[in-house]
Amino acid sequence: MKIAIVCYPTFGGSGVVATELGLELARRGHEIHFITYSQPVRLALLNPNVHYHEVIVPEYPLFHFQPYELALSSKLVDMVKLHKIEVLHVHYAIPHAYAGYMAKQMLKDEGIDLPMVTTLHGTDITLVGNHPFYKPAVTFSINKSDYVTSVSQSLKDDTLKLFNIKNEIQVIPNFIELDKNKYDPTVPCSRSVMANDDERIITHISNFRKVKRIPDIIKIFYKIQKEIPAKLMMVGDGPEKEKAEKMCRKFGIQDKVIFFGNSNEIDRILCLTDLFLLPSETESFGLAALEAMACGVPVISSNSGGLPEVNLDGVSGYLSDVGEIGEMAENSTKSAAAAGIPI
């Protein structure tokens, strides 16, 4: 089958899921066309079934805001006709479902019926999409999609609560391809590069937005390192990063916290990790937590949104109410003990 995938090409979870899904479909023999404004960060193009088409928005002095949706829908129309694409899968409702619907309508005018699947990922519903300025367009484009999926039951419930949805929503949880051994076993998982033998390595990976409660991570780690020797690896980049760096200096723990910026070597980072922290305000799923678990790393998380569907309390890690820094720090110490590491 010939499938077009529209997603954000950045380090965010929706782009990662879209890319992994496209790559797996390509491995199964489907022809996959990624259509977005730059090459998705996890996309390796060395596969004859994988194609990438860049959406270019020409600059014009009159435009205060570049009309990306317009350029995307035009590009979709062109690519669908050129490559005889049979299905369109858009990830993240804003503005992809809207642009996809416009492309569908333009193609319909030319006698082409293009079914569209919209996958809801989280902030497109809970934070951004729910804003009154976007809500009518988001509601409309979800209702006009041929199929709608959400990455957790919690996100489905939120969608039905916040929007007037007439369409069926199917829950298809995010996934990790366990068989695909991305980590090269010939490269040693050398913890000694990051920490002393007696130190636990605690990791957080995200796009450092407010919703991730980055200050909580620093406060939790501050408590952990008072109890046990530990290092904190902060992976990713975003608006809260500078504040976090300042907090580390203020708490006098700057030598124990390493800020990596964005990385494509998540599997190698997780291979060194003893514990993963995800105290988010809300999380429709928490793909980074699943990636940690896939590497055998316990997760200390909040219990908001879809996190309880992913992180099972007392099984894969521990959950606490949002902001319960003390309990999360205690559970972190407990987890390290349960993992059999002497403390």
17 binds ligand GMT (CB under 6 A): yes
Query: What does the buried/exposed string (b/e) look like for 221-231 if buried means 16 or more CB atoms within 10 Å of the residue's CB?
Result: bbebbeebebb
Establish how many alpha carbons lie within 13 A of residue 77's alpha carbon, considering only the half-sphere containing its beta carbon: 17
Q: How far is CA 103 from CA 69, 129, 265, in A?
A: 10, 20, 36
DSSP string computed for 3-28: EEEE---SSSHHHHHHHHHHHHHHHT
Task: Tell me how many residues contact ligand GMT (CB under 6 A).
Answer: 21
Whichever of 8 and 98 has its CB closer to ligand GMT, that residue is 8
Residue from 9, 13, 129, 279 touching ligand GMT (CB under 6 A): that is: 13
284 binds ligand GMT (CB under 6 A): yes
211 binds ligand GMT (CB under 6 A): yes
Q: Token pair of 259, please?
A: 């800020």
According to DSSP, the residues that pair with 149 across neighbouring strands are 119, 170
Whichever of 204 and 256 has its CB closer to ligand GMT, that residue is 204
282 binds ligand GMT (CB under 6 A): yes
List CB contacts of 342: < 8 A, sequence separation 6 or more.
none
Whichever of 304 and 331 has its CB closer to ligand GMT, that residue is 304
User: Closest separation between CB of residue 92 and ligand GMT, Å?
Assistant: 5
117 binds ligand GMT (CB under 6 A): no
Residues in region 242-271 near ligand GMT by CB under 6 A: none
Interface stretch with ligand GMT, choices 51-59, 191-199, 265-273, 278-286 (CB under 6 A):
278-286
Residue from 20, 31, 283, 330 touching ligand GMT (CB under 6 A): that is: 283
User: Closest separation between CB of residue 286 and ligand GMT, Å?
Assistant: 5
151 binds ligand GMT (CB under 6 A): yes
DSSP string computed for 117-172: EEEE-SHHHHTSTTSTTTHHHHHHHHHHSSEEEESSHHHHHHHHHHS---S-EEE-
Residue identified by tokens 């007037």 is 164
DSSP string computed for 100-121: HHHHHHHHHHTT----EEEEE-
Whichever of 96 and 200 has its CB closer to ligand GMT, that residue is 96
123 binds ligand GMT (CB under 6 A): yes
Q: Token pair of 142, please?
A: 């979800």
List of residues contacting ligand GMT (CB under 6 A): 8, 12-15, 17, 92, 121-123, 151, 174, 206-207, 211, 282-287
